Amino acid sequence: MTLLNSLTTNSRTVTRNEYGGLQIQTYLSAGENTALRALLSRAVNADLLPEPYVERSKREFESLNHHIYDVLVAEESVIAVVVLALSYWKDLRKERTRIQKTYFLIQCACDDGVKVTELDGRTCAKRAKNAPALGQLTRHYLGLEPVKCATPYVETRIGYKVVAKTPDGTLVSAFDGSIYKPEVWRSEAAQDDHGGGFYYYESEGLARETTRQGVTFARCVSEGKTLVLCAVEVAGRVVEYDSGKRAASRLRILHEIGQVAIDDE
């Protein structure tokens, strides 16, 4: 029996982020973390895995980072790893961005060698979300244990959000004018510093009251706009701010409830 066939899925249960990735240091010992970094370095040195970097100028920002999706370990040794090479580019003047994702399976080979295989980027993250045990996703790509690609159950909740309504009936953000299509999910990572995500309230009454008082929108933002209160569905990471305002990483509008307005001064 080969080493790979003798390995069973590690009993360590993992918690993944909304993209399927791991805070891998939480689940590995110091020795396993060292072995993991050594395996990644060997793949980079062999020009089989892109090397991480960060570059910045007055005009643009560019980076490439490694995000670990799974590790197969045995007796403090790392047998194989699934890793995402995520490249990000941003034009600092025109606010344009570009993201590229490439998933790899990296395996130990004889004589300290390494074998790297590019994985299907359309399905890797979906399979990761269906792999609750450390090593399970890696074993799938080694042909030892199938992991389904079906979208896993995601817990959602109902909330309330105020948006603007254009003369032609389109629902848009009162802040930036981006379109909210009913029943269509929007995604953006929620940030603790108000730097991302989609604002909403858990209470319809609170959403109405904070809008009326000018807490949700300053008058300069809402001036000349028709504001409508909508029922929304949210999922993913949620950050809570002052005054009951929250930000979710995923949100979609379910239906309109009615118009709201800021009180006159």
What is the tens place of the pLDDT at every residue in 117-140?
999 998 999 999 999 999 999 999
Same domain, 195 and 131: no
Does residue 147 fall inside a structural domain? no
Same domain, 63 and 161: no
Same domain, 235 and 108: no
Asked if 238 and 201 touch (Cβ cutoff 8 Å), the reply is no
CA 41 to chain centre: 25
pLDDT at 4: 54
The string of pLDDT tens digits covering residues 70-86 is 999 988 789 999 999 99
| 46-62 average pLDDT score | 94
Range in 61-65, 66-70, 237-241 the model is least confident about: 237-241
Residue 176 confidence class, pLDDT cut points 50, 70, 90: confident
- The CA distance from 249 to 235, in Å, is 7
Residue 184: pLDDT above 70?
yes
State which of 109, 141, 173 marks the end of a domain.
141
State which of 112, 141, 170 marks the end of a domain.
141
Same domain, 184 and 93: no
Residue 151: pLDDT above 70?
no
Does residue 22 fall inside a structural domain? yes
pLDDT at 39: 96
Asked if 229 and 204 touch (Cβ cutoff 8 Å), the reply is yes
Q: Phi and psi dihedrals of 70, rounded to 5?
A: -175, 155
**Which comes out higher in pLDDT, residue 214 or 87?**
87
Domain span at residue 189 reads 156-260
Same domain, 36 and 76: yes
- Domains identified in the chain, total number: 2
pLDDT at 107: 96
Beta strands in 6-125 (DSSP E): 53-56, 60-74, 77-91, 96-108, 114-118
Residue 216 confidence class, pLDDT cut points 50, 70, 90: confident
| 230-251 average pLDDT score | 90
Ordered alpha helix ranges (H), the chain:
3-6, 30-45, 124-129, 136-141, 204-212, 219-222
Decide: helix, strand or coil at residue 94: coil
Tell me whether residue 133 is exposed, middle or buried, using C-beta atoms within 10 angstroms of its C-beta: 0 to 12, 13 to 18, 19 or more: middle
Asked if 250 and 235 touch (Cβ cutoff 8 Å), the reply is yes
* 244 secondary structure, DSSP code: G
Same domain, 171 and 210: yes
pLDDT at 265: 60
